[in-house]
Structure 1
Amino acid sequence: MGIVLLGIAILPLVGHGGMHLYRAEFSGATSEKLKPRIAETARSLGKIYFSLTLVLYFVLWLAGMDAYEAMCHTFSTLGTGGFSTRESSIAGFASPVVEYLIILFMLLAGISFAQQYRLWIQRRPGRFLADVEIRSYVLLVVVSTLIIAVLLVLHHGYAIESAFRSSLFQVSTIITTTGFVTDDFEVWHPLAQLMLLALMFVGGCTGSTAGGLKVARILLLSKVVDREFRRMVEPRGVFSVRLGGAVIPEGTIQSLLNLIYLAFVVNFASCLLLGAMGVDVLTSIAAVAASMFNIGPGLGGVGPLDNYAHLPALAKWVLSGCMIAGRLEFYTVLVILTPAFWRK
């Protein structure tokens, strides 16, 4: 979040358009300017981020963390980085209060800061709650949490509150690509593991600090697929793609399809490379997804209680490339690797 805010605030001062960087980061359902000047938009978003940072720091400190740990986990939560001062991550605090606080702020970090501007600054909760991406994001979290919680109660003997808290925490940390851990979800029911793996690909909302393909893009992809089905039924019909009541330009749709294709190609090629090095199938798939979408813990040999140290050195290079490509959303990396870019 910080480098984007810095870029869109400073670039106009040196003669470069900050709006280009703003649109790149806030691509999706929400990319309009919130203020007449893009630098003012950056300052407004920065104030929200700074305010959330202060609030989370103090509530974690009040919940029992010392000042240093509260600071580290505040930065790691709102930045969806997932780094902890404890070897066992958030589980090391053994505090339901800490877990619920981090859940809340992880979910906030996974929501577009442009929409949070409308909620906190403009005081327009109606427009915030009407956003189709936010409603889908919340619905996805709720449904996933309830299904996994039921599995934990029925198959693993969890108490109801413990099952709900463990399920909600892991769903939140995965969908926001934060990567904190409170449970070894690798021993959970296979359906729960598959749901968490799917959430790795979905990620948070556009314009948030979360990684992943983003909820708005998944929604838009489903709309595109629906349009193609309708075209098959009515070949002469003219159908537009709408998201949140707005007609989506064909250029945006083409860009989305290109991004999904690139994500699939990079993911598949990386899995093949890890498989060629002797890494098992589950570990390869989970490690690539967890790296590409900047999550951290995966499944198999890179589960929540494991790490990546045992992987071959070349595999670590591949996964490092996945981290960079996923965080920059593929296009930037491919442009840099294109010879024509360097000739210019």
Structure 2
Amino acid sequence: MADVAHGGVKTVRIGSMLGDGIGHEIVPATMRVVEAAMEVEKDLRVDWVVLPLGRDAIESEGSPAPDSTIAELKSLDTWILGPHDSASYPEPFRSQLTPGGVVRKTFGLFANIRPAATHPGVRAVSPSMDLVVVRENTEGFYADRNMFLGSGEFMPTPDVALAVGVFTRAACERIAREAFTQARSRRKHVTIVHKTNVLSMTTGLFRDACRTVAEEFPDVTVDEQHIDALTALLVRRGEDFDVIVAENMFGDILSDLAGELSGSLGMAPSLNCSETKAMAQAAHGSAPDIAGKNRANPTALFLSAAMMLDWLGDHDGDTRLSRAARRIRHAVDGALESRVATADLGGRASTSEFAETVLARTLRV
């Protein structure tokens, strides 16, 4: 929990990890916006702890996810993680668990919350979309997340590759409970995603666990969709969906689709969390093709940081943090509505120009 000093001043200690590529541009911009939003609130301060993670950490610490970084994260209230480009790391690091994966596994960040909503001034394929994908973050078909030790992928011969998908009732019920809780604060509608006509035992277990949890939330409407049918429905009538709960890989694909339909993947925020820890991390990657060119859209990380402050405010019972989160969201919407936008949205603003616009609005909203 955040420290409260004499006189009621609250200092929140937030870890900041730049990551790779555009992370070196969007993370510092996000830090400035978060700090401004918090300092507008009376007696609310931030203490940044910048930690190495990613390619720079390989060079300085000998590992993309140094033990010293992981140890320091344990003492902090919450964290911001920039995107990483682990595919470009030298071996053996390229074949190891990604830096973000190390953090997720170490701290049991089982829920990946990914909203997709349209914004004023931004053209969208689905102009009325406002949904949240609640993605199980520890199991499923992703080999970097579904084993305690080692990988879920293996090759018994050079010409045969196998993958193990892991589904446990406890993890499925845990993510379902998160989804139904989210729905209660929204439009009270949950869609369960599965593929039981083919993967009857694995995604069948996921579906059945979600159905069981649904009984605890009689005020929430529940329906189900096969993953392939849902992708088509999102394109055609995305506005019909409220909260979508999915296993790891399905949730990853659906949230990227929804982010693009609602405007741009550069707008798509994400929060990785457990019951006790949370990490802001944009849904997009490190975009090495535009890294260092001052062209990246920082919106997704701004909005991810706002989610992080909301989460911390809920857990600390401090409405000042929730107000700071709203201030960031209003500042982003105001900037976009005034037609200040980066190239991915058809605008001409640089990363720094867009960030300065949001920063100014954060201070006056």
TM (normalized to structure 1)?
Answer: 0.29
* Structure with the higher helix share, 1 or 2: 1
TM (normalized to structure 2)?
Answer: 0.28
* Structure with the higher strand share, 1 or 2: 2
